[in-house]
Each structure stands twice: as structure tokens, then as C-alpha cells.
Amino acid sequence: MTKDQQLVPTADGSFTLWDERTGQHYHSLHGARSESEHVFIKNGLGPFLGNEELSVLELGFGTGLNALLACHWAQKHRVKVRYMSCDLYPLDRCDFIDSEDPSEKSVWHQLLDAPWEEELRIDKYFFLRKEQTDIRTLKEAHPRFDAVFHDAFSPDSEPQLWSLELFENMFASLKENGLWVSYSAKGQVRRDLQAAGFSVERLEGPPGKREMLRAWKK
């Protein structure tokens, strides 16, 4: 962590970080791990149970928590997951490892230490590629994805990462019947997703939030 980042406990016993640049926490104070598990694993990967392979695009690598939980999911269900995460302002590699489980800590270290712009094979089920880039400049050369995990800071903090133009880009980046998922339930986000071509649904939110959004390319 830098002087601009502070470790903060959350309600489920896991930790998050406060980011001075955006004036935001990386995760919900109602439960960092609970939020990630509910939004991105249950509602992002859950619909793909039964698939043999998946490709995931994440906006915002952050602390690596979503990638860690996705790796667990891939191993548990024996699904080969190729996971690409874009983060223009990655955290400095430091001491943020929020786990007492030695095996989990080992995997988390691998994810945080993974080189940027290269694919790292964690095991036969999980492959991680981190790109320090603006997701709005993704090239068409990238393969299409089954799922997009939209985990940017809030629309009020970083409106450029919640724009109609970006949602149109994400729609084009998804395979048919692919999904976009996020913790946000903001009305303007829902309307812009619909304008981009998505079929949008409101789902029960994680602890502390009434709703969240999931959108399908159909």
C-alpha cells in the first residue's frame, strides 16, 4: 500500500482499501469478500456452470480478490477459465493479502505478482492475463468474452468508465449469450446498457445493497 491507500476492515471480517485518488473504497464496507462472491461469482460465473471453458474480462484488477475467487470457482467446478483484467492504475505490490489460509495466500501471491501484459498459468483450470491499459482502448484483436466483470469505482467517481460508449464496446466484446455484471444498480447505468443493446435485469444485491445489475447479449 502507498500513503494514499489505507487498509479498512469490513463487516464480514475481510478487508478492503481506501483509495485517496478516487475517494472510494475498493469494496463494500458491508463485506468485501461477500460482495465479490455474490456479484461476480454467484451471478457472474454461476450461470455458466456446465461449461468446459470460459473467458472473462474484468474492469479493475484492484486487490485481485475477484480473480482469486474466480480461480477457486474454476478449480472447484473444473472449468477452464481464461481471465483478463484491465487496470490503468494498478496497486503497488505490497502486503495486501487478506487470508489466513496458506494455500489461498500462495495463489493470491501468484496473482498479485503475475507480470503485466503476459498470460500466467496458475493451474490447468485458471489462466490470468493482466493489462495496464484503459479498457476503452481494447483492440478488436482480443478474443470475445463470455462474461464482463465491471468492477470500476462508482459512476459518480469515474463516470468515463460507465459511459454508453464503453457499454457499446463491451457489448461488441461479448460472445452471443454473454453477460455483463456489476454491483451498480444506478438508473442511468441501466438505461445506457439497454441503449447499448443489452437485455438488463435487476437482481438482489450483495449485503448492504438492495439491487445490482446483470445484462445479457441476446
211 pLDDT higher than 90: yes
Q: 3-state DSSP call for residue 108? A: helix
What CA–CA distances, in Å, run from 131 to 35, 120, 186, 191? 24, 12, 27, 29
How crowded is residue 211: how many other Cβ atoms within 10 Å of its Cβ?
15
For residue 202, what are the β-bridge partners?
Answer: 213
CA angle, 21 then 137 then 92, to 5°: 35
| Domain range summary for the chain, segments of one domain joined by + | 31-216
Tally the residues of the chain.
218
**Fold for domain 31-216?**
Rossmann fold (3.40.50)
> Assign residue 199 a region: left if phi > 0, alpha if psi is -120 to 50, beta otherwise?
beta
Of the pLDDT bands very low, low, confident and very high (cuts 50, 70, 90), residue 18 is: confident
For the chain, the average pLDDT equals 91
Give residue 83's pLDDT: 98
101 pLDDT band, cuts 50/70/90, is confident
Which cell is 102 given?
Answer: 496458506
> Which of 32-41, 108-117, 193-202 is least confident?
108-117
Q: Note the pTM of the prediction, 2 decimals.
A: 0.93
Q: Which amino acid is at 127?
A: F
